[in-house]
Chain A
């Protein structure tokens, strides 16, 4: 049961997290392709994917080879906790009305406008702006996916020896799905329930991150993992507790914020950098 639940949680979290990031990257590439050059935008995308593959291979091997298990749990748990809390905080703020939902159409228009206004510089036979913006967009959005895939995948290997493969496969599947749907739609994927996905992923990352970070604290004791009461069932408790706490927070924010104007400028998420 543990292995199935952990594998499902791993696959779902990496798939959703990757899909959210790939939708944002797709918006940038689409804007550069339509307003500047498809050749440069796609070359930048392929270059970023190759760079991400190299980072994944190097970081994955380095973590497995040179870091002890309890330190690995502590580092992985802490990183997941940091990412998860940031995602969950953003999702709660958006659901509670403290921040506006990300507008993929507005982000697309802003990128397209910037692309049209920029000068034309050719390097290596490519429209350099389209190449650089596409490369940066895909690389930066993808780097977060790489971290989640590596940390989740490595940690899940204790339940499932193919954990890293499951995590990588889920991310690749999400990327392919976004690419296929995007190519068919030929417009930004604004119908994707981005905040709900971010909420779920933030909750899962925070729960798993708390679990593994606490286990990793054993490094400061006798060097062995610190066990949770109820062992792996504690993850379920963390997810349920986190869900309850976050719903309370959303309800509290909605009651506090009668109108967004009461709180000054509500965070705008039209720009592609706001994720």
Chain B
């Protein structure tokens, strides 16, 4: 059991790292892309642009969240 926890912990640290919002954001953005792909009436050429903009927004949001975290920690 301890080995399993250590094994899972290792892969969590390796893939997710210290910014969980990046991993969650990647899954969310790609999930939105997949949902749009299965939705009727959506131009497929539009989907890559949505994902690219989503990735940019996610990175910016993660940096903003980090600044706020540091501000709170600094009082």
Give A222's nearest chain B residue, CB to CB: B37
Q: With A226-B44, A238-B52 known to touch, is A213 a contact of B74 (CB < 8 Å)?
A: no
- Contact partner of A245 (CB less than 8 A), chosen from B14, B30, B51, B60, is B60
Q: Which of the four size classes fits the interface of chain A?
A: 35 or more
Instruction: Give the dominant DSSP class at A's interface.
Output: helix
Query: In the assembled complex, which residues on chain B have CB atoms less than 8 Å from the CB atom of A261?
Result: 74
Footprint of A on B, CB under 8 Å?
14-17, 19, 22-23, 26, 30, 33-34, 37-38, 44-45, 47-49, 51-52, 55-56, 58-60, 62-63, 66-67, 70-75
B26 touches A226 (CB 8 A): no
A206 touches B70 (CB 8 A): no
Q: With A220-B37, A226-B44, A264-B70 known to touch, is A253 a contact of B55 (CB < 8 Å)?
A: no
Q: With A220-B37, A226-B37, A263-B74 known to touch, is A82 a contact of B60 (CB < 8 Å)?
A: no
Query: In the assembled complex, which residues on chain A have CB atoms less than 8 Å from the CB atom of B63?
Result: 89, 92-93, 98, 249, 253
The docked-state distance in angstroms from the alpha carbon of A229 to that of B44 is 9
Footprint of B on A, CB under 8 Å?
74, 78-79, 81-82, 85-86, 88-89, 92-93, 98, 143-144, 206, 210, 213-214, 217-218, 220-221, 226-229, 234, 238, 241-242, 245-246, 249, 253, 256-257, 261-266
Find the residue from B16, B30, B62 having the highest chain A CB count within 10 A.
Answer: B30
**Minimal beta-carbon separation of A246 from chain B (angstroms):** 8
B48 touches A234 (CB 8 A): yes
The docked-state distance in angstroms from the alpha carbon of A217 to that of B42 is 15
Q: With A217-B37, A238-B52 known to touch, is A249 a contact of B67 (CB < 8 Å)?
A: no
